[in-house]
């Protein structure tokens, strides 16, 4: 009993010093959203959100979650306290991946079947425009300076540079086969793009829209064609980037200055999407086939925990 009280006390003290945060994970096969306390390493609950939830983002003020419920052809707005649906956005057909602009007033959605990017005005819940892109657009992101929205089309093997002021494509860059995910550096000077089929990470220069560097991955005991990079994130100091390597069950740690691959961290099976904690001291990964998330401590660069969340975890977002 004493121990328990002490434990409780320590927990309180610790959670008082470390910022409490909540991790949200969409569960594609459970039609639900998992709510995780990452510091305690516990699944708090899972709440139903609609059919086949995949893409997930949180509003800049952390009040709302945007959840693409693909089989309902909509993006739902969910209150992060009550988990009640407070609205729906006209996403176009079968929404999967989308990106929120830094101001939090525009959403860019990939419509894979129609080769379109749909731009949504969140406040008015209206489609601003639809932009014709390559075949099977998937990864999409907006630069921190809000100048660019970039869409990657998996079958056309290109990234399309959309000027956010005019909503027109101004340039296309050919990249390695089946580009999956992309992410800008915090200074908006580089775009990092993963290629699932070539097994590479490409660093593009935003000014010239040209390739600066292609990074290859090598994991011992894994043949090259198993290396299938998907999610990519870069820390705000521009020191390191992290790439989820899908069926290799690893996250690659990349030095963002030298582009050297520093380490491969073993996580759950078919690691897919990545998100930082607000203080960027931890990284959360969704592991598609082991039905859990892994928590990586970035100070020590080690995997500290895995938390079972439910069937087919897909997207991940963090609330401070």
Partner 1 sequence: MIRVLNLSSKMLLKLLFLIYFFGENIVYADARQMINIAYLTQEQKILPTLSNLDAFIKDPGIPGAELAIIDNNTTGQFTKQQFVLKKFIVPLDGNVVDSFNKLIAGQYAYVMVNLPAKLVNEIADLPAAKQMLLFDVGTIDDELRNAQCRSNVLHLLPDRAMRADALAQYMMKKRWTKWFLVIGATEEDRLYAEAIKRAAKRFGMKIVQEKTWEHTYDARRTEQSDVAVFTQVDDYDVLVVADQQGQFGEYLEYRTWNARPVIGTQGLIATAWHKTHEQWGAEQIQHRFKEQTGRWMEEPDYAAYLAIRAVGEAATRTQSNDISRLKAYILSPAFALQGYKGNPLSFRAWNGQLRQPILLAAPRSSVAVAPVEGFLHPKTELDTLGYDQPESSCLWNK
Residues at the contact surface with partner 1, assessed by CB under 8 A: 112-113, 115, 132, 134-136, 153-158, 172, 174, 176-178, 196-199, 223-226, 228, 247
CB of 255 to partner 1, least distance (A): 26
Q: Using an 8 Å Cβ cutoff, are 264 and 287 in contact?
A: no
Nearer to partner 1, 144 or 213 (CB): 213
Nearer to partner 1, 114 or 235 (CB): 114
Cα–Cα distance, 284 to 273 (Å, whole number): 8
Q: Using an 8 Å Cβ cutoff, are 130 and 117 in contact?
A: yes
Cα–Cα distance, 297 to 78 (Å, whole number): 29
Nearer to partner 1, 224 or 236 (CB): 224
CB of 138 to partner 1, least distance (A): 8
CB of 174 to partner 1, least distance (A): 6
CB of 153 to partner 1, least distance (A): 8
Q: Using an 8 Å Cβ cutoff, are 179 and 195 in contact?
A: yes
Nearer to partner 1, 31 or 111 (CB): 111
Token pair 């470390």 in the structure block, residue: 18
Nearer to partner 1, 202 or 317 (CB): 202
Cα–Cα distance, 270 to 288 (Å, whole number): 5
CB of 197 to partner 1, least distance (A): 4
Q: Each residue of 125-139: b (16+ CB within 10 Å) or e?
A: eeeeeebebbebbbb
């Amino acid at each position: 009993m004493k121990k328990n009280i002490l434990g409780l006390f320590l927990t309180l003290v610790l959670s008082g010093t470390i910022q409490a945060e909540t991790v949200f994970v969409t569960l594609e096969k459970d039609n639900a959203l998992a709510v995780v306390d990452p510091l305690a390493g516990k699944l708090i609950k899972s709440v139903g959100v609609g059919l086949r939830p995949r893409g997930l983002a949180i509003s800049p003020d952390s009040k709302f979650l945007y959840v693409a419920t693909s089989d309902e052809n909509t993006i739902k707005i969910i209150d992060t306290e009550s988990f009640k649906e407070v609205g729906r956005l006209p996403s176009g057909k079968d929404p999967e991946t989308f990106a929120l602009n830094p101001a939090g007033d525009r959403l860019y959605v990939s419509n894979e079947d129609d080769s379109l990017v749909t731009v949504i005005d969140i406040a008015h819940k209206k489609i601003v425009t639809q932009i014709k892109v390559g075949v099977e657009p998937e990864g999409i992101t907006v630069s921190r300076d809000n100048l660019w929205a970039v869409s990657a089309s998996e079958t056309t093997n290109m990234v399309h540079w959309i000027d956010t002021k005019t909503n027109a494509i101004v340039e296309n860059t050919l990249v390695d086969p089946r580009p999956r995910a992309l992410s800008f550096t915090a200074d908006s000077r580089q775009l990092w793009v993963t290629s699932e089929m070539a097994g590479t990470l490409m660093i593009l220069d935003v000014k010239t829209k040209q390739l600066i560097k292609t990074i290859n991955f090598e994991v011992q005991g894994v043949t090259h064609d198993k290396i299938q990079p998907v999610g990519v994130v870069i820390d705000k100091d521009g020191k390191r980037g992290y790439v989820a390597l899908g069926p290799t069950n690893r996250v690659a740690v990349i030095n963002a200055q030298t582009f050297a691959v520093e380490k491969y961290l073993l996580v759950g099976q078919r690691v897919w999407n990545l998100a930082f904690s607000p203080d960027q001291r931890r990284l959360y990964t969704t592991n598609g086939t082991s039905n859990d998330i892994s928590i990586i401590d970035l100070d020590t660069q080690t995997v500290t925990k895995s938390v079972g969340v439910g069937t087919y975890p897909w997207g991940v977002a963090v609330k401070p």
